Amino acid sequence: MKLFVAGVNYRTAPVEVREQFAVTPPRLLEQTRRLQVEGELDEVVLLSTCNRVEIYGATRYEARSLDSLSKAVGCSEHDLRLHGYVIENVEAVRHLFRVASGLDSMVVGETEITGQVKTAYEAARAAHLTGRMLNRVFQKAFQTVKETRTQTSIGRGATSVGSVAVELAERIFHDDLSQQKVMIIGAGRMGETCIRHLAKNGARSILVSNRSFERAVELAREFGGEAVRFEECLQTMTDVDIVVAAAGCPNTLLHRVDVENLMRRRKNRLLFLIDIAVPRNIDAGVHSLEGVYLYNIDTLESLVRENVRFRQQDLAKCDQIIDAGVSALMARLSLEIEKPQSFLQICLPFVPKPIIAAGTF
């Protein structure tokens, strides 16, 4: 049985490429089933987040080329050759453990990714798309995550994309959000994270807009905010200072012409837009408009670098915990890495060698 992970992430592909690979939650199960058939996989889990799209698979057969797997999630061969990676067996297990622990994230130590990995795994397991191998691998991964959280301080501080977005807003307004009006578009996991941090840091007024108005009302009530109907969010932005876009949808929500008209109504009063969604919710062209400042998920990297500097000792300890967990699991599974005609060798022509080097991950 071969075990592998194939995909793209924020290190190998910019956001304009990642958003082409992204799979929205409603289509996740359908795409996972398609991967199982087209990739001739015995077991499969598909993970799609703002920073990565990864296929975790196990197969008894010689797997098809990475190109065939990429087509199952709508990726182009060109993008794959430039930005894709494949990792096998023990290194695939280590990669999953680091991803689930937040060590491979843009925001090192983030906790949000753990929930996203669990959601992807549980969806695949409930649909009978996992079996003995991936069940053991993922369950051990979650056990290892718990150990890294309890034995180190890796999860303290700004540990999610949402919290870093709020940190950016604080910098823009000189650490004082008490006079600012903020709108969150999207009441999912990332949107909720933003609201929690905004409320904690004293934002004066929080507006929540979501396709499901009932969900917007529920979240706004919890934090003393106000719900806005989705079709009215653009009109409401006339009086908003900061907009955080975190809606999980495949279409652009704010187009350049919309924001251009909005700025006329605002008389060009400064507007800060933070787009943490993938695919992006806001047209990149709005950045050229006078008085508009747009930040997307990739522009948060400067904040992340600061975050990493304070976590070096914790990172080393986490890697020790992960290495121990990987060794224990591999001994239990007794996997034999097949050298001839391995999945990696079949896919090698499609993947740049520097990307799949073990040290990269």
Active site residues: 50
Question: Cβ distance 162 to 207 under 8 Å?
Answer: no
Q: What is the DSSP letter of 40?
A: T
Residue 75 CA to residue 20 CA, distance in Å, equals 7
Residue with tokens 């001739």: 40
3-class SS of residue 29: helix
Residues facing 282 on adjacent strands: 254
From residue 149, alpha-carbon distances to 182, 252, 293, 314 in Å are 32, 36, 36, 10
Question: Cβ distance 183 to 238 under 8 Å?
Answer: no
Cis peptide before 354 (omega within 30 of 0): no
State how far Cα 313 lies from the chain centre.
Answer: 25
Question: Cβ distance 93 to 137 under 8 Å?
Answer: yes
| Tokens coding 276 | 């943490």
If residue 92 lies in a helix (H) or strand (E), which one and from where to where? helix 89-100
Residue 277 CA to residue 270 CA, distance in Å, equals 22
